[in-house]
Structure 1
Amino acid sequence: MIDCLFRRRGVDGEFSLFDSTDGTRSNWDPQIQHGSPPLALLTRAIEELAAGTGLRVGRLSLDILGAIPVAPVRVNARVDRPGARISMMVAEMAVDRPDGGRRTVARVTAWLLATSDTHDAAVDRYPPMVEGTGAGAAHAWEGAPGYLETVSWRRQQTAPGAAAEAWISPLVPLVDSEPTTALQRLAMVVDSANGIGAALDPQQFVFMNTDTVVHLHRLPDGEDFGLRARGSIGPDGIGVTTAEIFDRAGFIGTCAQTLFVQRRA
């Protein structure tokens, strides 16, 4: 039974050490990780580094730098651009090589900004997304083991030609039984926008994202997140998935993903 995505192993110098559980396994290949668990774990490192600064995350940008194995990982975080009002923080995930070296497999770059009271000026582009009747199969990977076992995925009925919509929620903690913040819970599911907005049949094409960039004008709240997503495929094997992100209170931001598209043999 999968009861978390990562297990804490301790510290080695500047690195926090974690074991990756079966809950991180990708629906594309069970030997590599889905993008959401690394994004969430690196977001956790950013939040820990930012604690007490008075800054909050406005953007998270995950770059997947190579196949991320389901294996022990090392995580560290640093401030790349210090500032009292605007700061850039970076968290990286690395794995040990058989030869004793290390390979960096993922990086999250975050812009953090000082907060102020703008309640009287707050405005959303979209009305809240309301969960309705589910629409048959949740996704095209129904029954795939690993990460998809750790989330509740409720696809919504939408009009023909409209962007796809789904409500998705993590079912397990991020690290052991440790508390998981709402931002970390969002990071645990938002990489799934590519699957929700899929424009291609995964039996005929591979369309893996190389990144996930999230912009948040409001911090998320709760455990349930709605994604309204649409994939666009170019004529030369490159695509993009874009999505609007909601929590139960309304619209909170957007995400975009670059896709590597390849026809299956």
Structure 2
Amino acid sequence: MSARPPRILVIAGSDSSGGAGIQADIKTVTMLGGYAMTAITAVTAQNTRGVTGVEALSPDFVAAQIDACLEDIGADAVKIGMLGSADIAEVVADRLEDLGKPIVFDPVMVATSGSVLADEATIEVFEWLMDLATLTTPNVPELEALGGASGMAARGVTYLAKGGDADGPMVEDRLVRPGTQDVVWSDARIVTKHTHGTGCTLSSAIATHLGHGLDLEQAIAKARLFVREALKSAPGFGLGNGPLGHQAVR
């Protein structure tokens, strides 16, 4: 890994309870030796039991945050999470069109608690973002909403099909790339209700490792290990789906 920390720009929403979103992203990037910058798309009132309020920022202000980071510090990789509206999704895609750096897109639609975080119009703009992204990381319901494996194949998208939401004692994650044999990781399920922010953490970890210069398979493998250790280190906070233990991973 390089001596200078990779610059990771995270474009996502804020989680007031600290378990997911920008807060999980910053913890992850920092623990993995990166320098985290943020463009906040929305602020939420939420905790381990659910989301009680969402306030999206204006598309112009989201764009201003992205511009401020890229025009001065620059970025070695980008992670995209919750976007908040179709207009925000469009301005993010526009700003990243010619970036030429790895982009990891986590197509956040529904929170762990079940709260809807993306409407139909926003999901339509995901097409543009998936086309720009180095990797898209849908979970089981997100992949279904995006048309399943056949829909992704028709788009020619490189994606990581995450299996944490599937049933069974094993968790299988599958890297699918057009014209290339799938790469599959399979591990015993870590049985815990404290899974709030797993998707945010995984995508930020992948982006950080890509920023360090690792190839895609290496970045995913290392990111998966980080998430598994963070799950094992969960502090047990909250009455619902609690946060991971990012700070406990060594």
Superposition TM-score tier, normalisation by shorter sequence: under 0.3
Q: Higher helix proportion, which one?
A: 2
TM score, norm. by length of structure 1: 0.25
TM score, norm. by length of structure 2: 0.26
Computing the radius of gyration from Cα coordinates, the structure with the larger value is: 1
Q: Higher strand proportion, which one?
A: 1
